[in-house]
Amino acid sequence: NLGTRKLRLAVAGCAHGEMDKIYEVLAEIEKSKGYKFDLLICCGDYQAVRNYGDLHHMHVSEKYRSIQTFYKYYSGEKTAPILTVFVGGNHEASGYLSELPNGGWVAPNIYYMGFANVIRFAGLRIAGLSGIFNGKEFNRGHYERPPYNEHGDVVSSYHVRNLDVWRLKQLRPADADNTSNPIDIMVSHDWPAGIVDFGDRDWLLRVKPFFVDDVNSGKLGNPSTMQLLYDMRPRYWFAAHLHVGFAALVPHVSKDGSQEAEPTRFLALDKPIPRRHFIQALELDIADDAEMKLSYDPQWLAILKNTDNFTSISRSNAYLPSAHSSERWDFRPTEEELAAIFKLGDLTIPENFQQTAKPLMKDTPESRKAKPSPYYRN
Ligand code: 5GP
Ligand code: MN
């Protein structure tokens, strides 16, 4: 007999290091609408650059190689006014993010989801996948870490790996009607390839005519994540990367045409430039007494544990069992496996942010000579 209330969610497309601008826009919306946002989700190209050294670890053209504003939130000069969660894209402080493969705080109140993750907030389950698709790297382990070699490791470090997609596929619900464990929100940087067919394709090709070949050949986006969408059936899927706002609705129907689960509402957002669809405000029903802190997702922890043997930091192709394998291939946690996770107790994500590189206190000509920070391990 508990009541419900609205969670105020803001979703942003590619952030490109414009934290100051984004929080300013959100403050204006809060003022005009008379509410406060509870959570901000950023869909990649976040650019968590701590200092000038980190700029050496970001794959970007010289024109865009700029310190931007994240460093102020890292040094403590500013504090993120809204709890912020993000996935990685293809323009990131890749050296810094490689310190947090399973996610973690990159600054107070700013949480990076790692290569793949599921976290909880206010009773909602939020899944994420970082990076963009590239066939060459898809089956490899996550082998890249600073110091990056000269053969493009800083580029391949943000390419999506099958291991992470496969782990997320273990979230598929046990029951056809998706009531056992719905994922509320999925976040990725590139779009699931094929999603365009579920929205206004003609409009998209009018505003982005150079997408036509890729759309027609089904190659616009990540070819592995449309199946993930069908398996996972999230209520919402947010993405960015193509610098255009685009909505789609994907039904989940069985072979006889009956609806098996709520359709997935897909929304892609633009980058932070004026008059573009860069931010979307959403309201979601949550319980009155919902915990407004991030916590680990028990099922995801069980999946990580079940599939830990397959973690690879090697450049060679990683083996993953499939339905044709003689060994276990379905890693959806059993009751016992989940019970072992619950024994861990409180799953609230601790607010344990730590600086692992020298913060930039003042943007001076001297500070611009900084060398990349060494890879941090404890
Ligand atoms: P980024 O900001 O990540 O460097 O680049 C995003 C831009 O690259 C988008 O605006 C889009 O024009 C282009 N782009 C990214 N992926 C694709 C793709 O698969 N096909 C096409 N045609 N363009 C793409
Ligand atoms: Mn991008």
How far is the centre of ligand 1, averaged over its atoms, from the C-alpha of 181 (Å)?
Answer: 33
For ligand 1, atom 11: residue with the closest CA = 242
Give the ligand 1 atom nearest the CA of 220: 19
Asked whether the beta carbons of 138 and 159 are under 8 A apart, the reply is yes
For residue range 54-78, what is the model confidence (pLDDT) as tens digits? 999 999 999 999 999 999 999 999 9
* Element containing residue 128 per DSSP (H, E): strand 124-129
- What is d(CA 372, CA 26) in angstroms, rounded to the nearest whole number? 32
As for ligand 1, residues whose beta carbon falls within 6 Å of it are 14, 45, 90-91, 210-211, 214, 220, 241-243
How far is the centre of ligand 2, averaged over its atoms, from the C-alpha of 232 (Å)?
Answer: 23
Give the confidence band of 374 by pLDDT, cuts at 50, 70, 90: low
Give the confidence band of 371 by pLDDT, cuts at 50, 70, 90: confident
Write the ipTM. Answer: 0.98
How far is the centre of ligand 2, averaged over its atoms, from the C-alpha of 189 (Å)?
Answer: 7
- Is the pTM higher than 0.95? The answer reads yes
Judged by average pLDDT, the poorest of 144-153, 165-174, 359-368 is 144-153
For residue range 73-120, what is the model confidence (pLDDT) as tens digits? 999 999 999 999 999 999 999 999 999 999 999 999 999 999 999 999
pLDDT at 375: 56
- What is d(CA 126, CA 238) in angstroms, rounded to the nearest whole number? 11
pLDDT at 377: 43
Asked whether the beta carbons of 54 and 96 are under 8 A apart, the reply is yes
DSSP string for 156-185: HTTB--HHHHHHHHTT--SSTTS-SS---E
For ligand 1, atom 21: residue with the closest CA = 211
For ligand 1, atom 19: residue with the closest CA = 220
Q: Are strands 84-86 and 39-42 parallel, antiparallel or unpaired?
A: parallel
Asked whether the beta carbons of 310 and 163 are under 8 A apart, the reply is yes
How far is the centre of ligand 2, averaged over its atoms, from the C-alpha of 15 (Å)?
Answer: 10
Asked whether the beta carbons of 5 and 288 are under 8 A apart, the reply is yes
What proportion of the chain, given as a percentage, has pLDDT over 70? 98
How far is the centre of ligand 2, averaged over its atoms, from the C-alpha of 146 (Å)?
Answer: 21
**Size of the chain, expressed as the number of residues it contains:** 378
How far is the centre of ligand 1, averaged over its atoms, from the C-alpha of 92 (Å)?
Answer: 15
pLDDT at 1: 53
Q: Write the CA distances from 68 to 29, 193, 215, 370, integer angstroms.
A: 23, 31, 33, 16
Give the ligand 1 atom nearest the CA of 90: 3
How far is the centre of ligand 1, averaged over its atoms, from the C-alpha of 242 (Å)?
Answer: 5
Contacts of 288 (CB under 8 A, 6+ apart): 2, 3, 4, 5
Give the ligand 1 atom nearest the CA of 221: 19
How far is the centre of ligand 1, averaged over its atoms, from the C-alpha of 28 (Å)?
Answer: 30
Pocket perturbation via mutation, ligand 1, pick of 243, 269, 276, 278 by most ligand atoms within 8 A of CB: 243
Pocket perturbation via mutation, ligand 1, pick of 43, 45, 242 by most ligand atoms within 8 A of CB: 242
For ligand 1, atom 14: residue with the closest CA = 242
